Amino acid sequence: MPNEIQILTVSELTKEIRKTLEENFQKVTVIGEISNFKAHVSGHWYFSLKDADAVINCTMWKGLNQYVFFTPQDGMKIVVNGSITVYPARGNYQLDIRSMKPSGLGELQEAFEKLKKKLDAEGLFDEQYKKPIPSFPQKIGIVTAIDCAAFKDMVSVAHRRFPLVELIIAPTRVQGIGAAESIVNSIKFLNEQKNIDVIIVGRGGGSIEDLWAFNEEKVSRAIFSSKIPIISGVGHEVDFTIADYVADLRAPTPSAAMEIATPDIREIHNFINEFVLISSRVINENLEESKEKLNSLTRSYGFRIPYELVKRKSQQIDITVSRILKNIEKSSIVYDKKISLLAKSLEAFDVKKTLRRGFVLVEQNSKFVTRANKFNKKQNARLKFYDGDVNTR
Amino acid sequence: MQKKKIKSNFEQDLLRLEEISRMLEEDNIELEEAIVLFDEGVKLSKSCLKTLRESELKITELKSQLEKFSQVEE
């Protein structure tokens, strides 16, 4: 038996190899650089890990790779956990990866710079593609996690600044499993809603890993393709994501994004109040001016002419009237003379003159007796002489 | 290009108010015209202030529609 050479079939050998490898490398942690990365339509990932001298094929199944917060890229150095599996049919072994992370923050930084450069070269950040942000939105779409502080902040800003607006919320996963897909989906979804004026894509502060979804290429492409203008508000002031560069406007935080998206109701109030104030003043000034103009017109030479005419006419009237009066006076003097002449001629018939010549008037019972047959001899009579009366008996 | 959208009454009113305010401040405006504009402006500002006073933030969450949408997408 010891001398006998054991002959194995390929299957038997492979089975042994498989057993050895799979038993001994059930749980390994490996560091290496990604190359030939391919995300298959099935959702599985295929790539190689390499260093200067060696290379190993890797797979990561769909169910597991969705937990990876970043999209692996060629050249990225990562640390993976997994096990060795052997495929008898192809006679090769591979590393089945359970989890992966960048070997350091530098790796993410590098990925960030790489994508930024690529998209910049494609023109995704160009100013010419930036859509203007409307100043009076009626509907603001919000892409964010509805249970986070950032959302509450945005609501309170909208409430304070511009309660006329309607917020349309697309509850979105903004970190962890499927975050990038969720953001892309929400942006597309809001683009299909009616009359949304502007979209805010936001989330609160966090680590670079937490914010990583906003550095994913698909998110940037979705932002770029959005027909509705997008304001990004991711993390804190210091955090810059690729999404910020593609967005039509970058706000330092979610609250700031809402501030930019909404006009301030107090400013509108001030504007309206000022309008009433200033316009009243303008109107008053205009009125005063017109009054002044009117006054100076009425004082002008032209306006005095009719008045002068009246004055002249009334003077004429005065002259005429006094002439008439003078004439009347003259004729009354003439009449006076005529009257005194008449009076003199009348005097000729005066009784007294007759009496003076020696005639006597006889009076009985206070009546003049002018005929003898009227004289009553039995009665007293009064004789009227020129120089006095005599009573007879 | 984006389809032309009808601006909200509120925005239109505010823009008109701004326009009136500009016109009123022009030097050669006639008094009668100014008074007509002023009258219009005061009416507009009243209605704007009323809108502001009565405004209330509306929040619409489209969770279920979004879920349906994402299923279709996948």
Radius of gyration of chain B (CA): 21
Establish if A76 belongs to a structural domain.
yes
Same domain flag for A63 and A148: no
Q: Which among A229, A263, A297 is the end of a domain?
A: A263
CATH classification of the domain holding A207: 3.40.50.10550
Residues A178/A66, Cβ–Cβ less than 8 Å = yes
Share of chain A above pLDDT 70, in %: 98
Q: Are residues A224 and A146 in the same domain?
A: yes
Q: Which secondary-structure segment (H or E) carries A373? A: none
Indicate the burial class of B17 (C-beta count within 10 angstroms; 0-12, 13-18, 19 or more): buried
* pLDDT for the residue numbered A183: 95
Question: What is the C-alpha to C-alpha distance for residues A219 and A225, in angstroms, rounded to an integer?
Answer: 10
**DSSP codes, A129-155:** GPPPPPSS-SEEEEEE-TTSHHHHHHH
Q: Which of B45, B57, B51 lies closest to B21 in space, CA to CA?
A: B45
Q: Is residue A125 part of a domain?
A: no
Domain boundary among A241, A263, A285: A263
Work out the pLDDT band at B2, boundaries 50, 70, 90.
very low
Interface membership of B71 toward A (CB under 8 Å): no
A93 and A147 housed in the same domain: no
Q: Tell me how many domains chain A contains.
A: 3
Q: Which of A138, A171, A276 sits opposite B61 (nearest CB)?
A: A171
Top residue of B6, B48, B62, B68 to mutate, by most chain A CBs within 10 Å, is: B62
Instruction: Give me the amino acid identity at A61.
Output: W
The string of pLDDT tens digits covering residues A83-121 is: 999 999 989 999 999 999 999 888 888 889 999 999 999
pLDDT reported for residue B3: 37
Verify whether the Cβ–Cβ distance A138 to B58 is below 8 Å.
no
Q: Is residue A298 part of a domain?
A: no
Are residues B57 and A158, on separate chains, in Cβ contact within 8 Å?
yes
Question: Looking at the structure, do residues A165 and A252 belong to the same domain, yes or no?
Answer: yes
CATH number, domain of A62, equals: 2.40.50.140
Query: Do residues A149 and A254 both lie within one domain?
Result: yes
Q: pLDDT tens, A332-346?
A: 888 888 888 888 777
**Rounded-to-integer distance, Cα B48 and Cα A146, Å:** 32
Predicted model pTM: 0.68
Average pLDDT, chain A: 89
Question: Is A88 inside a domain boundary?
Answer: yes
With an 8 Å Cβ cutoff, are A169 and B61 in contact? Answer: yes
Tell me, yes or no, whether A155 and A217 share the same domain.
Answer: yes
Any CB–CB contact under 8 A between B23 and chain A?
A: no
Q: Are residues A66 and A171 in the same domain?
A: no
Helices (H) and strands (E) counted in chain B, each on its own, are 3, 1
Structural domain range at position A249: 137-263
Are residues A94 and A169 both part of a single domain?
no
Is the pLDDT at A281 greater than 80? The verdict is yes
The first and second tokens of residue A74, run together, are: 């060629």
CA distance A136 to chain B (A): 6
In this prediction the ipTM stands at 0.75
Examine the domain organization and report whether A80 and A159 are in the same domain: no
Of residues A298 and A235, more confidently modeled: A235
Q: If you average pLDDT over every residue of chain B, what do you get? A: 80
Contacts of A191 (CB under 8 A, 6+ apart): A199, A226, A227, A228
- A60 min Cα distance to partner chain B (Å): 21
Which residue in chain B is spatially nearest to A164 when comparing CA positions?
Answer: B55
Q: C-alpha angle A75/A77/A82, rounded to 5°?
A: 120
Tokens coding B5:
């959208």
Q: Do B25 and A282 touch (CB under 8 A)?
A: yes
Of B20, B34, B69, the CB nearest to A286: B34
Domain assignment of residue A57, yes or no:
yes
A152 and A236 inside one domain: yes
Closest-CA residue in chain A for B54? A164
In a domain, A374, yes or no: yes
Q: Is residue A243 part of a domain?
A: yes
In a domain, residue A67? The reply is yes
How many C-beta atoms surround the C-beta of residue A141 within 10 A? 28
Are A166 and B60 in contact (CB < 8 Å)? yes
Same domain, A144 and A258: yes
Domain stops at, among A219, A236, A263? A263
Q: What confidence score (pLDDT) does residue A139 get?
A: 94
A–B interface: beta-carbon pairs under 8 A: 107
Do A61 and A169 lie in one domain? The reply is no
Contact between A186 and B66 using a beta-carbon 8 Å cutoff: yes
The CA distance from B56 to the nearest CA of chain A, in Å, is 5
Q: Is residue B8 scored above 70 in pLDDT?
A: no
CB–CB of A188 and B73 under 8 A?
Answer: yes
